[in-house]
Amino acid sequence: MTAAMVRVEGLCKRFSVPRREAGLRAALRALVRREYRVVEAVRDLEFSLAPGERVGFLGPNGAGKTTTLKMLAGLIVPSAGQVEVAGFTPSERRPEFLRRVSLVMGQKRQLSWDLPAIDNFEFNRVVYEIDPAHYKRRLEELTALLDVGEVMRRPVRQLSLGERMKCELVAALLHGPQVLFLDEPTIGLDVSMQLGIREFIRRYNAEHGATVILTSHYMEDVAALCPRILVIDGGRLRFDGSIEALRRQIRPLRRVSVRAAALPDDPTAMGRVVLREGGRLVLDVAPERVPEVVGALVALPEAQDLAVQDAPLEEVMRALFGREEAAEIG
Amino acid sequence: MSAGASARQVPRLLFYGRLVAAQLEMSTLTALQYRLGFWTEGLLGLLWSVIGIAPLFVAVDHLGAVEGWGRWKLVVLTGCFTILSGLFTALLQPALRESMTHILKGTLDYVLLRPADGLVLCLTCAFHPWHLVEVLGGLVLVIAGLWLGEVEVTATGLLAGLATGAAGLMALYAFGVLVLCASFRALQLQALTHVMEALMDFGRWPAQVFPPALRLLFTFVIPLLVMTSYPAEALLGRLSWGTVAELAAVSATLLVLARLAWVRSVRGYTSASS
């Protein structure tokens, strides 16, 4: 049995944050005597990841995803619980551990703004003590994969957001990390650049076997990259499994759409009507009834554009976070 | 996996030597990146140095004796101050400002994730090479003061001067680290760097001009005199080895305190949210 690359048990993080009522009087009072409130950003998380897994953290803003990611990376010290990454305790921040991990944040850059990325790469070679010959090979491989051969010679401030993110990835991967933490890596990028970055991450994972942990608000990123997702909400783990399993639990209905010259008078008998507009009909149908409903829709006059899809992940998440029960699912 | 294979284990001291050199190279490359900026900064650096030293040349004929400090001995003291001030503006001040910006923007995350001591990385992350001109100017002043004042510098005096100067520099860095740690708690405390700059100006004057209480404060609490006045005295052969040891102990204590404060600050670091 392969040892876990990431093991988390009873992980908690509490922050003490100041609070006060509105108004000048309360602000003045807070100058002398400040009240604090304890916020539980992460509560009792438990999970483990195998080497080479690609896992997505999903959750609304303030759910505790980034805090968890930063505890795994060793940036934030947990309030309670155990974390082990690549056999190390991250918060000890031992150099041997830090050489095995890397973090890329879409909203923050590690590259020096005024210098070409190649100068930053050279700096990382010294910091990570990468053998010069190995560094050369690695740089050639990454720059070819990401197509930044010329780009890396221009000052970072002159690069587009997508080019900069590619260079950030090169900087983060030069030392060959075993665990790659990605926090919103495609934020603000156009669709083709998002696709390019996703493809690169998938390929890197396949070729080097690195464990990839991703947080993203773009559901497509997570759906395309991560066979396994961890849904975190209110600091708690609410789901751990595949996207398909999540869909089956939260929105098991299949979405069937069709365009026809005439629509049925009462389509509610087939399923829940999502849209009925002009000649277009969209229904949510129970999986076991899909063949029967498709058969009926195909028989409609001039039926075309018939499609059967899973519910979009955004809707699944909205349904999940809209639920009132706080109990763990699955 | 290539991480372990690519890491060449070299002695830590050699690694940190290379690391600091690489950080200084990055800052120098940044300074060289924009031609106009480079020459402007150079010109301003030179101008700043001259402005700092000029009053001394104007007043040198009028300098009265300050309890054992003749005119040329005061020039030596000014030289020591200028060296320290140059080192501060070239090395420590830019690093502190850059590190505080990292804390503000949350990019300290990247610094802390590098496999090296975070404090060393912070204290060497920025550098203004042109301000080293001030250090050279200070050296010239020290040598000129000693030469024209016909002071015979003995080997032990020179050694004591270097030891006290090193202790002074350590104290300065320790003080800088404490200011940096304070900015982890509240970013407004970044203004302490300006207080630090203003306080350093007291180092222009010999210890004897201060009343005893201030002298104690500036030796043991905010050791400005350790940084300038005492190295000058040591060069002039007027400082006992006992005092040199005391000053080294003050600096070492401050360094230990600064290190503890750093460890505590990093453990409490919450990282700016993205």
A18, A36, A193 from A21: Cα distances, Å: 11, 12, 45
Given a cut of 50, is residue B242 above it in pLDDT? yes
Residue B4 has a pLDDT of 41
Q: Do B274 and A128 touch (CB under 8 A)?
A: no
Name A121's Cβ contacts closer than 8 Å, sequence gap at least 6: A139, A152, A170, A171, A174
Position B105, amino acid: K
Facing A128 at nearest CB: one of B7, B10, B270 = B7
Band (pLDDT 50/70/90 cuts) for residue B11 is confident
Chain A, 266 to 325: residues with Cβ < 8 Å from chain B are none
Average pLDDT over every residue of A177-188:
92
Residue B59 has a pLDDT of 61
CB of B107 within 8 Å of a chain A CB? The answer is: yes
Mean pLDDT of chain A: 89
Give me the torsion for CA of B175, B118, A9, A54, rounded to 10°.
150
Of A109-113, B2-6, B100-104, B244-248, minimum mean pLDDT range: B2-6
Distance CA(A253)–CA(A285), nearest Å, equals: 5
Beta strands at A228-233 and A54-58: parallel, antiparallel or unpaired: parallel
Distance CA(B127)–CA(B121), nearest Å, equals: 12
Band (pLDDT 50/70/90 cuts) for residue A327 is very low
Residue B69 has a pLDDT of 74
Distance CA(A330)–CA(B12), nearest Å, equals: 49
Backbone angles phi, psi at A18, to 5 degrees: -70, 145
Distance CA(A56)–CA(B238), nearest Å, equals: 68
Band (pLDDT 50/70/90 cuts) for residue A324 is very low
**Count of CB atoms within 10 A of residue A36's CB?**
10
Given a cut of 70, is residue B261 above it in pLDDT? yes
Given a cut of 50, is residue A330 above it in pLDDT? no
**Count of CB atoms within 10 A of residue A318's CB?**
15
**b/e per residue, A122-138, with b = 16+ CB within 10 A?**
bbbbbbbbbeeebbeeb
Residue B273 has a pLDDT of 60
Q: DSSP secondary structure string, A147-171?
A: T-TTGGGSBGGGS-HHHHHHHHHHH
Average pLDDT over every residue of A38-48:
92
Residue B60 has a pLDDT of 59
Instruction: Give the residue from A129, A140, A153 with the most B CB atoms within 10 Å of its CB, the best one to mutate.
Output: A129
Q: Is B91 within 8 Å of B127 (Cβ atoms)?
A: yes
Of A95-99, A195-199, A216-220, minimum mean pLDDT range: A216-220
Band (pLDDT 50/70/90 cuts) for residue A156 is very high
Name A159's Cβ contacts closer than 8 Å, sequence gap at least 6: A117, A151, A167
Q: Do A108 and B1 touch (CB under 8 A)?
A: no
Mean pLDDT of chain B: 83
Residue B230 has a pLDDT of 85
Q: Tell me if residue A285 falls in helix, strand or coil.
A: strand
Band (pLDDT 50/70/90 cuts) for residue B1 is very low
Q: Is B142 within 8 Å of B135 (Cβ atoms)?
A: no
Q: Could you read off the pLDDT of B136-146 as tens digits, one per residue?
A: 888 988 999 89
Given a cut of 50, is residue B236 above it in pLDDT? yes
Instruction: Give the residue from A15, A92, A112 with the most B CB atoms within 10 Å of its CB, the best one to mutate.
Output: A112
Q: Do A96 and B115 touch (CB under 8 A)?
A: yes
C-beta pairs of A107-110 under 8 Å, 24+ apart in sequence:
A107/A183, A107/A184, A107/A187, A107/B274, A108/B105, A108/B106, A108/B107, A108/B109, A108/B110, A108/B274, A109/A156, A109/A164, A109/A168, A109/B107, A110/A168, A110/A171, A110/A172, A110/B107, A110/B110
Q: Which of A70 and B205 is assigned the larger pLDDT?
A: A70
Average pLDDT over every residue of A157-183:
94
Residue A71 has a pLDDT of 95
Nearest CA in chain B to A107: B274
Nearest CA in chain A to B34: A114
Average pLDDT over every residue of A125-150:
93
Name B56's Cβ contacts closer than 8 Å, sequence gap at least 6: B75, B78, B141
Q: How far is A21 from chain B (nearest CA, A)?
A: 21
Residue B63 has a pLDDT of 58
Name A124's Cβ contacts closer than 8 Å, sequence gap at least 6: A130, A171, A174, A175
Name A163's Cβ contacts closer than 8 Å, sequence gap at least 6: A148, A151
Give me the torsion for CA of A157, A161, A164, A166, rounded to 10°.
-170
Band (pLDDT 50/70/90 cuts) for residue A165 is very high
Q: Do B270 and A108 touch (CB under 8 A)?
A: no
**Count of CB atoms within 10 A of residue B12's CB?**
11
Q: Could you read off the pLDDT of A79-110 as tens digits, one per residue?
A: 999 999 999 999 999 999 999 999 999 988 89
CA of residue A157 relative to chain centroid, distance: 26
Q: Could you read off the pLDDT of B81-112 as tens digits, one per residue?
A: 888 888 998 999 999 999 999 988 889 999 99
CB of A178 within 8 Å of a chain B CB? The answer is: yes
CB of A196 within 8 Å of a chain B CB? The answer is: no
Residue A63 has a pLDDT of 86
Average pLDDT over every residue of A260-281:
89
Distance CA(A280)–CA(A303), nearest Å, equals: 10
Residue A153 has a pLDDT of 93
Residue B50 has a pLDDT of 72
Q: Do B3 and A99 touch (CB under 8 A)?
A: yes
What is the H or E stretch that residue A276 is in?
Answer: strand A272-277
Q: Could you read off the pLDDT of B187-200 as tens digits, one per residue?
A: 666 677 778 778 88
Instruction: Give the residue from B15, B117, B270 with the most A CB atoms within 10 Å of its CB, the best one to mutate.
Output: B270
Taking contacts as CB-CB distances below 8 angstroms, the residues of chain B near A74 are 112-113
Position B208, amino acid: Q
| Residue B47: Cβ-neighbour burial (10 angstroms; 0-12, 13-18, 19+) | exposed
Beta strands at A211-215 and A54-58: parallel, antiparallel or unpaired: parallel
Chain A, 72 to 101: residues with Cβ < 8 Å from chain B are 73-77, 93, 95-96, 98-101
For residue A115, give both structure tokens.
Answer: 């210098």
What is the H or E stretch that residue A179 is in?
Answer: strand A179-183
For residue B5, give both structure tokens.
Answer: 């294979």
Give me the torsion for CA of A82, A86, A91, A92, rounded to 10°.
120
Residue A204 has a pLDDT of 92
**Cα(first)–Cα(last) distance of chain B, in Å?**
30
Q: What does DSSP assign to residue A327?
A: S
Residue A281 has a pLDDT of 92
Distance CA(A299)–CA(B226), nearest Å, equals: 94
Q: What does DSSP assign to residue A2?
A: P
Closest CA to B70 of B139, B158, B148: B148
CB of A30 within 8 Å of a chain B CB? The answer is: no
Q: Do B271 and A76 touch (CB under 8 A)?
A: yes
Q: Could you read off the pLDDT of A291-320 as tens digits, one per residue?
A: 999 999 999 999 999 999 887 777 888 888
Instruction: Give the residue from A76, A92, A214, A215 with the most B CB atoms within 10 Å of its CB, the best one to mutate.
Output: A76
Residue A328 has a pLDDT of 39
Residue B5 has a pLDDT of 41
